[in-house]
Chains A and B, each alone.
Chain A
Amino acid sequence: MKQVFCRPKSMTKNIFHYCAGCGHSIVHRLIAEVIDELGIRGIAIGVPPAGCAVLAYNYLDIDMIEAQHGRGPATATGVKRVLPDRVVFSYQGDGDLAAIGTAESFHAANRGENITVIFINNAVYGMTGGQMAPTSILGQRTTTSPAGRAALLDGHPVRVSEIFSQLPGTAYIERCMVNSPAAILKTRKAIRKAFQCQIDGRGFSLVEILSPCPTNWKMTPIDSCRWIDEVMCKEFPLGVMKDVPAVEQNEGG
């Protein structure tokens, strides 16, 4: 019998510290698979965030450099500018990218830095105990919005992909999810495209991934996958937000 599915080569044998049904570990695996597929294991450099995925360097068997909270794109910018032949990506959650690191992420995107950002959107602060995040859905109950998020009091959820796609510096932006095998395969394609975009030198690429957080949503893993389909997708529509062809990008500048 032939082995058709196994642990990617770019992953260590460590057991994930994530909760059962967490989307982070799926995305880690997809990144490792894409790195294997593109054959860039020796030149890939990752920047893990502060948050649940802070220990990503324990699992991805590539070069990793830890950034301060929210400063992933700034660190990645530095690495990429010093070592332009490497493939540099930052991995960030919604607290990291959309709250404390908004300025760094926004301006890295606006400068059109040739880096890739993997943005995990689970609508909640995972590591600190399920507080409301900038991306929490209206009406969503969290530990800091026990009556549900209200627009008047807490504002509206931030749609990062839509905002970043308005910036002229960005080249490729897509939003996908990891709640079913089909969606996971689509996400893998998106991550591959984002890395390819960087290798081709087209500029800033971002993949936003709607990811389940069963522990803080207080649901079973299967219910949380359903919740992404039924509620989260309505607030955060999926699809390619921006895909600038290489030629146009060169003409522009």
Chain B
Amino acid sequence: MKGHIIIDRELCKECHLCIHACKKGLIVPSQEFNSRGYRPVCFKDEQGECTGCTLCAITCPDIAIEVYRD
């Protein structure tokens, strides 16, 4: 089962709870700022490991993550 997430860069407040929630470590911190002064996290899934388990989205306080699954 393949999954995919989309992180809304403007909504993310870099609390990093999703990084902690992702069992596969597919979400990483980034250094780029958004227009509100936060550095939103990035989704890095080169191997296609994401299963679309939605744990990151459930834990995200700012509803910045949308999850898609095959």
Contacts and interface: CB of A to CB of B under 8 A. Distances in A.
A123 B10 CA distance: 30
Contacts of B58: 5, 181, 184-185
Interface string B36-70: 10100000000000001011011101110111111
Contacts of B63: 7, 11, 25, 29
B20 interface: yes
Q: Main SS of the interface on chain A?
A: mixed
B21 A5 contact: no
Contacts of B65: 5
Contacts, number: 72
Contacts of B70: 1-2
A185 B66 CA distance: 17
A220 B15 CA distance: 8
A250 interface: no
Contact of B67 (A4, A19, A185, A220): A4
Contacts of A20: 13-15, 38, 61
Given A16-B61, A185-B58, A3 B13 contact: no
Given A20-B15, A20-B38, A181 B66 contact: no
A18 B7 CA distance: 18
B51 to A, nearest CB: 11
A225 B61 contact: no
Contacts of A48: none
A25 B17 contact: no
Contact of A4 (B16, B38, B52): B52
Q: What are the nearest 3 A-B pairs in CB distance? A: A21-B15, A20-B13, A20-B15
